[in-house]
Structure 1
Amino acid sequence: MRRKFRVFLEGDFVETWDGEIYDVKGFVHPPGKVIAFVKYVPSKEADRFRHGVGYRRVYDLEERFRYLQEVKPQYLVFDEVFGRVMAEIPLDDIKEHYLPEARLQSLRRRKILDRVERCALDFAKKVKEMSGIPWLNMGVSGSILLNTHNEASDIDLVVYGKESCLKAYSILLAMRKKGLTREYEDALLEKLYKVRSKENPVSFELFKILESRKVLEGVYNGREYFIRMLKKIEEVGEAYGDKKYRRIGEARIRGGVVNDDEAIFTPCRYIVKLEKPIHNIKHITVTSFRGRFTEIVRVGEVLEAYGVLEEVSSHKEVCHQLIVGDTKGSFLRPYLLA
């Protein structure tokens, strides 16, 4: 009999029976499978340890695809709904499903925590108490969730539900103004730029400006953090097959941002009125599942982006979106600041 799992959400991780650890992508998954990308693999060249097993982290998207092509080619399938090759893990291959909300509750119950765990719990507690959101609408992800963290690890928090996300975001703005958190500076900013500019090239000057806008990431009590805002599955309102996605090709666009209501969520979305229509498209939704593109442009600004143009069809309508973050060299930025 197949095991039953809680619905798979962004921020979750799954472990296969042979010890590989994958991070879940998105909210919409095919029947009997979960869309996820390899993150950690057992290795003699380990850079972290867990339950006595050494693991190596698989970093960028290109390396992840290469690993799957070489080791688990059966997981790479062309998905007719998404119109592209996806990494899809059969549920029968999953040994464990790691839940951010369960890990945070575990930290709350434990009396002895290490410094990283204590910092994460303290941060979550401050956000929860100042915003009034329920504990069950919060979680801790990343290396803390998997218990692969070390003294240099950052904090990855998750907030669930639109209402809770909006309340928490308001508090994060207030915390930044009070100096309870701070933006990346100096050496941390340069380190982050070296990593991100490899996939999404922008100038350091622009990168610094864009990062200064963000409160979903920064530094808390001397430790880097990122907070992922997720709608609940019933708020997403899409099941596998409700929409069909067709790749048109890579495209570079520019236009005015007319709606940024979902700029803080994962996936983040910006509705743009194009300066020059492409394929007779006048309005487009720029979408990214990468946290680095949250909070990056605002209503009234001109957005410039490069990514994959898709047609999205359902029984109600046909529209278009530009996916940013899945293609080498893709970017999303305010044009007048570029």
Structure 2
Amino acid sequence: MIKTRLRDFLITRDDWIFAVSDYFHPHGIRSTLRYVPDDSGERELAGKRYKKYDFDVAFDFMRMNRPEWVEDVHVVPEENIKEVLSPSSAIARLYGLDKRVTEIVDILEREGINREMMGITGSLLPGLQNEGSDIDFVVYGEKWFVARDAITKAKSEPGPIEDIDMDMWKNIYNKRIPEISFDEFVLHEKRKGNRGMVDGTYFDLLFVRSWEQIKDPAPRGIDTGTMRTEAKVTNADFAFDSPSIYKVEHDEIDHVLSYTHTYAGQALEGETIEVQGVVEQIGEIKRLVVGTSREPKGEWIRSLTLLEKEGYI
């Protein structure tokens, strides 16, 4: 049995490259197609050219070429997998060669985070980056919060780590197309502290569960309609996970899930949130799901506590 987790990459026998998108794989590895060999591709690895596929294009390709692998994500049978790429392996390969990666690693190591708890995902993991590629930096488990604090501290001091300027925030906002205003988006994002610039390159600090944190998956429920409501967050330990999980105090809803990275880390424990999403019934439990489509319309999470504190409401 192949052991993988969120943000690993895998390579099939056809040299298709997928990003693992889940911790749980009941019948094949749940993932999303990212790169396919193509003579006209704009990226190159080991003498072979590749084309990067965005989400919708990847699904079109898979429906045409491997329709039996298409569900809500792509499910790759284990017998078709040639290699699994762990984000931690990219640290060993890039440290000392990529100045930007080296600088981030050095900052985190000074805070007591071992390299085994770090990783690089995205295009740098298989070696298919280009000049415009961001750095998707992974930290595993509870060490992620230590790393986030270290990056926040580094942004306030002279050095290679800097905060994001307003032009970059606008680019991120326009890319994500959230259902909240730009000002509210930036207010929430700046508090999260997991984005920055290193030597002029944008990077994101991504949470992935440690192996000990991976438990049995929640079963899929039945969609019963939509809801807009307010609730108090009682636990946000996995607010930066994918999906983000917020345990809430509410008459009907047990917890809120967000499948879009836009609302990861959107609220802290003890805060009141406004959320609109799809109600999912699982036995006696209801959860409220945000991000039910690639660019979810009419779905959001806002921290009313944060907005009130900063004078937005």
- Give the TM-score normalised by the residue count of structure 1: 0.80
Instruction: Select 2:16's aligned residue among 15, 20, 23.
Output: 20
Moved over 4 A (4+): 335-338
Tell me, in whole angstroms, the C-alpha distance in 1 between the residues paired with 2:57 and 2:232.
33
Tell me, in whole angstroms, the C-alpha distance in 2 between the residues paired with 1:290 and 1:251.
17
Quick one: which amino acid aligns to residue 210 of structure 1?
A: H
For 1:80, the equivalent position in structure 2 comes to: none
- Deviation track 1:178-234 (CA, whole Å, cap 9, x = no partner) reads 36544322321222122110xx33322222222222211122222101111222222
1:8 to partner: Cα distance: 0.9
Which residues of 2 match residues 235-314 of structure 1 at below 5 A? 235-238=213-216, 243-259=218-234, 260-274=236-250, 281=252, 283-312=253-282
SS in 2 for 1:178: coil
For 2:43, the equivalent position in structure 1 comes to: 48
Tell me, in whole angstroms, the C-alpha distance in 2 between the residues paired with 1:125 and 1:250.
48
- The answer on whether the counterparts of 1:256 and 1:300 sit within 8 Å (CA) in structure 2 is no
Structure 2 residue 120 is matched with structure 1 residue 120: no
- Give the TM-score normalised by the residue count of structure 2: 0.85
Aligned residue pair count = 302
Instruction: Select 1:334's aligned residue among 293, 298, 303.
Output: 303
Give me the CA root mean square deviation: 2.5
Tell me, in whole angstroms, the C-alpha distance in 1 between the residues paired with 2:73 and 2:240.
25
For 1:95, the equivalent position in structure 2 comes to: 82
Relative to 1, partners in 2 of residues 1:51 and 1:250: Cα closer, same or farther, differing over 3 Å?
farther
- Deviation track 1:292-329 (CA, whole Å, cap 9, x = no partner) reads 3222223444323333432345xxxx433233223232
Instruction: Select 1:174's aligned residue among 135, 149, 153.
Output: 153
1:140 to partner: Cα distance: 1.2
For 1:224, the equivalent position in structure 2 comes to: 202
For 1:8, the equivalent position in structure 2 comes to: 4
- The answer on whether the counterparts of 2:260 and 2:291 sit within 8 Å (CA) in structure 1 is yes
Tell me, in whole angstroms, the C-alpha distance in 1 between the residues paired with 2:274 and 2:42.
37
User: Which fold has the larger relative contact order, with Cα–Cα distance below 8 Å and residues 6 or more apart in sequence?
Assistant: 1
Tell me, in whole angstroms, the C-alpha distance in 2 between the residues paired with 1:18 and 1:307.
38
Quick one: which amino acid aligns to residue 158 of structure 1?
A: V
Relative to 1, partners in 2 of residues 1:326 and 1:124: Cα closer, same or farther, differing over 3 Å?
farther
Quick one: which amino acid aligns to residue 152 of structure 1?
A: G
SS in 2 for 1:146: coil
- The answer on whether the counterparts of 2:222 and 2:282 sit within 8 Å (CA) in structure 1 is no
Instruction: Select 1:106's aligned residue among 78, 89, 93.
Output: 93
Tell me, in whole angstroms, the C-alpha distance in 2 between the residues paired with 1:65 and 1:250.
26
Tell me, in whole angstroms, the C-alpha distance in 1 between the residues paired with 2:12 and 2:63.
17
Quick one: which amino acid aligns to residue 122 of structure 2?
A: G
- The answer on whether the counterparts of 1:247 and 1:308 sit within 8 Å (CA) in structure 2 is no
Tell me, in whole angstroms, the C-alpha distance in 2 between the residues paired with 1:304 and 1:67.
37
For 2:64, the equivalent position in structure 1 comes to: 70
- The answer on whether the counterparts of 2:149 and 2:193 sit within 8 Å (CA) in structure 1 is no
- The answer on whether the counterparts of 1:183 and 1:211 sit within 8 Å (CA) in structure 2 is no
- The answer on whether the counterparts of 1:12 and 1:23 sit within 8 Å (CA) in structure 2 is yes
Relative to 1, partners in 2 of residues 1:170 and 1:312: Cα closer, same or farther, differing over 3 Å?
farther
SS in 1 for 2:49: strand
Instruction: Select 1:59's aligned residue among 45, 54, 57.
Output: 54
- Deviation track 1:271-308 (CA, whole Å, cap 9, x = no partner) reads 2334xx5xxx2x33112344332222234443233334
1:145 to partner: Cα distance: 0.7
Relative to 1, partners in 2 of residues 1:284 and 1:65: Cα closer, same or farther, differing over 3 Å?
farther
Quick one: which amino acid aligns to residue 169 of structure 1?
A: R
Tell me, in whole angstroms, the C-alpha distance in 2 between the residues paired with 1:87 and 1:247.
21
Relative to 1, partners in 2 of residues 1:41 and 1:246: Cα closer, same or farther, differing over 3 Å?
same
Of all paired residues, the percent bearing the same amino acid is 24
1:90 to partner: Cα distance: 0.1
For 2:116, the equivalent position in structure 1 comes to: 136
1:333 to partner: Cα distance: 2.5
Instruction: Select 1:319's aligned residue among 277, 285, 296.
Output: 285
- The answer on whether the counterparts of 2:244 and 2:258 sit within 8 Å (CA) in structure 1 is yes
SS in 2 for 1:66: helix
Tell me, in whole angstroms, the C-alpha distance in 2 between the residues paired with 1:231 and 1:71.
32
